[in-house]
Amino acid sequence: MKKIEISPNLYVVLIMIAAGALMRLIPHWPNFTPIAAIALFGGTFLKRKELAFAIPIAAMLLADMVLGFHSTMFSVYISFVAIVGMGLILHRKLTIVNTLTASLASSVLFYLVTNFASWTSGFMPYPMNIGGLMQSYIAGLPFLFNGVLGDLFYNSVLFGALYLVSSRQAVYSK
């Protein structure tokens, strides 16, 4: 029988999926999870771009199998795919300011897309007009705030850890 060799990179991918799913399963503030940060980070740094898209989706699916599926899941998943796309753009000119901007933009994108989907689902008690949509967005502001805090925190952890590891590696290789 042929021995299957697992690369260290695969371990990193599996750890990111498991960590993302686990962080959704343990008690947390609403929208304070690492999934968007994993999506942005993966889009920015993973050479295999299909993995950048697969990791946040796999983490979400894994957690959703436990938490349950809902009618607006598609908008959540699409948001994370778009955030990976932001990471692909961020990769071209990676700076602290651009990373901070991408982190904030990913929070806002997620908020706008998912609140719109919730409003259009008809499950929310808001009229199906522009006023109802604005009421929905206003009611969702605490979720946006939590999302911004979570994304800034987890992006700082992921991007910061990579920076620290790579800067130490550069020091030791001299």
Q: Domains in the chain: how many in total?
A: 1
Domain of 35, CATH number, reads: 1.10.1760
Residue 25 lies in domain? 8-172
User: pLDDT tens for residues 44-72?
Assistant: 988 889 989 998 999 999 999 999 998 89
**Is residue 2 in a domain?**
no
Please name the residues in contact with 41: beta carbons below 8 A apart, sequence gap of 6 or more.
87, 155, 158, 159, 162
pTM score, whole prediction: 0.87
CA angle, 139 then 144 then 150, to 5°: 145
**Is residue 3 in a domain?**
no
**Is residue 129 in a domain?**
yes
User: pLDDT tens for residues 107-136?
Assistant: 999 999 999 999 999 888 899 999 999 999
59 closest CA partner among 79, 74, 39, 85:
39
